[in-house]
Structure 1
């Protein structure tokens, strides 16, 4: 694995530090008036979610880890574990459902997700940026109401509540952005 200097750490880098795998969330380069420059790095543990603030001087060497990304297909969930399948080898892998966090409700049967592996251990999963959902409950469409910055609440078929424009009615399919968890467009 390549070693990098402390001042080369960028947000999104995965580092091996204190016997664990950490993702750099935020990096501030500080040049104090007295003493050497350093990088103040906020890191998140990829296995248990702990956060850590650490200082790295430019002379410090850190182990940078490259994660292998694979397209996997979601099959089913049971007992808080997601079963996913490698689309090339048809191998099935289990990973905890809480790895997706608050985006878990957007996971649909047969959906292709990108999973990041480190030595055959699934550490992170990314859903497609846009997902089609059906509106189960919302206020009725009001004629003559302008669409300028007026949104109304709607509950989707997966139980998530989003704000939608007034022209969107019940039982319509909409496209939801999974990164911002907001209405994107009509499907």
Structure 2
């Protein structure tokens, strides 16, 4: 099915020249003058080769027809990462190279989208927002205002994110998995 290039997101599967590619990063660029473009970094599923493409944001791109289902993350072992279909209880094993950067976001019981082609997992999408706990942050520097500055923090999954000065260790926050940015303080 054809979609406009600007709608591509991390984890989507694109078909070009008869081959399948999984989107690793997608960013839209809108210059003051000229045509807006979408830059996409992709990994070829057949051999793992990374490819970069740039399209006009209104250009149509062939999104591959793959089986996309919700799965719950169970556990990780030497074989890979195990997911279970919450309806049929079928299990599927996803390898680390298919997970890529999404590995850091996995939490036990998390609902993810696993994409399969001919019964073989080829890509995975995590939720766009996840809740994590802050392990450590830098102390607040006197004179910093909440509106103008952020400080680095390390969260439970090892990622470094920038948070407002009033956020300290032990606080649960919501982060955006597309760019590891702080969204808000968790409401739980």
Q: What is the deviation of 1:65?
A: 3.7
Q: TM-score, normalised by structure 1?
A: 0.71
Distance 1:17 1:168, change over 3 A: same
Corresponding residue number in structure 1 for 2:69: 70
Tell me the secondary structure at the aligned position of residue 74 of structure 1: strand
Distance 1:9 1:158, change over 3 A: closer
Partners of 1:80 and 1:98 in 2: CA distance: 12
Corresponding residue number in structure 2 for 1:178: 177
Unaligned runs of 5+ in 2: 27-39, 54-61
Corresponding residue number in structure 1 for 2:58: none
Q: What is the deviation of 1:71?
A: 0.3
Partners of 2:86 and 2:48 in 1: CA distance: 28
Comparing 166-175 with 132-141, greater Cα deviation is found at: 132-141
Structure 1 residues 111-165: Cα deviation after superposition (integer angstroms, max 9, x where no partner): 0001111111111110011111000011234576311221111011111111111
Unaligned runs of 5+ in 1: 3-7, 27-40, 55-62
Partners of 2:148 and 2:128 in 1: CA distance: 23
Q: Over aligned residue pairs, what C-alpha RMSD do you find?
A: 3.0
Distance 1:10 1:46, change over 3 A: farther
Q: What is the deviation of 1:179?
A: 0.9
Partners of 2:116 and 2:156 in 1: CA distance: 31
Partners of 1:146 and 1:114 in 2: CA distance: 39
Tell me the secondary structure at the aligned position of residue 98 of structure 2: helix
Contact kept, 8 Å, 1:141 with 1:169, in 2: the verdict is: no
1:157 and 2:156 correspond: yes
Contact kept, 8 Å, 1:175 with 1:185, in 2: the verdict is: yes
Q: TM-score, normalised by structure 2?
A: 0.71
Partners of 2:175 and 2:96 in 1: CA distance: 20
Partners of 2:158 and 2:76 in 1: CA distance: 17
Corresponding residue number in structure 1 for 2:129: 130
Distance 1:185 1:65, change over 3 A: closer
Contact kept, 8 Å, 2:22 with 2:123, in 1: the verdict is: no
Partners of 2:169 and 2:114 in 1: CA distance: 34
User: Whose radius of gyration is greater, 1 or 2?
Assistant: 1
Distance 1:52 1:136, change over 3 A: closer
